[in-house]
Structure 1
Amino acid sequence: MFIPLLVVLIVFSNPGMRPLFIMNLVSVLTGIVLGILNVYLEVTATLSPLTPIHAYILIGFVILLLYLPVFMDTILIFRLFAVYPPRTTSWPQRLIVFGPSILFKVIRVPNSIVFVVYWTKFGGHTSPLQAGQALRGVQPWIKIEWFFQVFDNCYASVLFLLRVHRGRVMNAWSGAMGNLDKQNSHTSKLPNLFFIALGNFVFPCLLSLVQLIFLFRNPKFLDGSYVFLTNCYVEIIGVLLATIRVAGGQWEHSLAGSKST
């Protein structure tokens, strides 16, 4: 599924979207590698359960699994930059909008490092699944990561949706005042903003809440890991589709402009 989306992303990419294009490219390639490793681990565990898996494969899989959501949430900061541009946002507003998101990531990164270190030590004496189950039950690192992931996603979701709502209000006000140019400008942007909000913020936030439910209602580490992995792919697809949507809209706009001239 990632390959066709990646091709479309490359086709619609433009110089103005270069940072987002690179970050989306990295996320898609990481998701492909993560999927290959996951298939290898699942097939090996099913067909050859007694065959030991190399430690570096497991460690690489866990590192990608833990840090991919942090990287995807970093892409969302760029989305917030688009609706809260620094040139029109005061310093107190910037601190309110971007400060908590940056703080959440500063906490999540070292917390995940500590988990990987302890999981590696436990895995040297038992199976990786048993090590994860043991750490989940007695150590707070998974809870910390999933809690802050929820806060990170939901906080960004609220800020983005508030901005979209404000744009709708401005659009209605512009229409009431008879300013057709401004109304058309807002109208053309609102579908893209809504699509970005849905794919980048709402779905990941809901799945993060599902992760927390699994954390407290389902004691099995493996089930929670599957939900976590699913959330990673939902974030990748959501961010990628939103980027393609915006790029396609810009391409159509430029094409219409060239035809009019």
Structure 2
Amino acid sequence: MHIKGVILNIAVMGFLDIPGLGRAHYHQYGTGSKPLLAFHGYGMTGRQFHVLEKSVLTAYHVYGFDHFFHGESKLGDWTGQQIIEGMPKPMVKAYMEEWFKQYGRQRFSVMGYSIGANVALILVEEYADLIDDMILMAPDGLSVYKGFQFLTYQPIGKYLFKRVTKSKWLAPALLKNLKKVNFIDESLYHIAYNEIDTEQKRQDVYYTLNLIRLLKPDTTKIAQLINRYHIKCRLIFGRHDNLFPMKAAMPFIDKLPHAEVHEVDMGHWLVTKQLDEYLVNLQQ
């Protein structure tokens, strides 16, 4: 099906007005013709995947969405309490329905990195019969990450998370200790540190993780759908990733006999030129 508004080498932007949720901003780029809806990691924007120019962007036309509290996406008239309660999972389907209104109901693919993988997985859960490919990098959502669970569900964790958000020194101290015990690597430490150096940024962290806390993919159902509809899967993990390592995702991977799984010699920070070269070399 023809995709309206494709501009091959020049990134363009657009918005989806999602009833009851807000205005989702997206970036378009890539020289391929296959539509690919992409969801970035924390602290980035929908342009994050532009570095995969030799591998992914030659095959796909990317629609890279900014998460709320990132880029130009704007949550609607939600109160702080509504944000903390979380975005209902069915609202993910509203993304797709609004996209269909703009571009027509058609086949598409999905891609997600880190926390963005949750949205990509839920789209597979809802639209498996229309999806060609799924690409996940250092994905959240394939297993329960106890750190996020503690911060957004457990009373003591919720209390501490809120305290850290308000404090100028607690958040940096916490990050330093996480790096000290090798829970996060040096590159992830610097990225995270740059996201907590102001009160506004710390509040955005707090709101982002609470907003998405209900977006939990049903991995058993998703695996069944992937096998039933023969969705091509590429799963990429960092060998030195302590946030979302491959071993935690093995129960899901074991359900996918035809998945293409890679563990690369990198940490959590995967969406780089180095990964682009790795993927290109796979094709040769």
TM-score between the two structures when normalised by the length of structure 2: 0.27
Per residue, is there more helix in 1 or in 2? 1
Per residue, is there more strand in 1 or in 2? 2
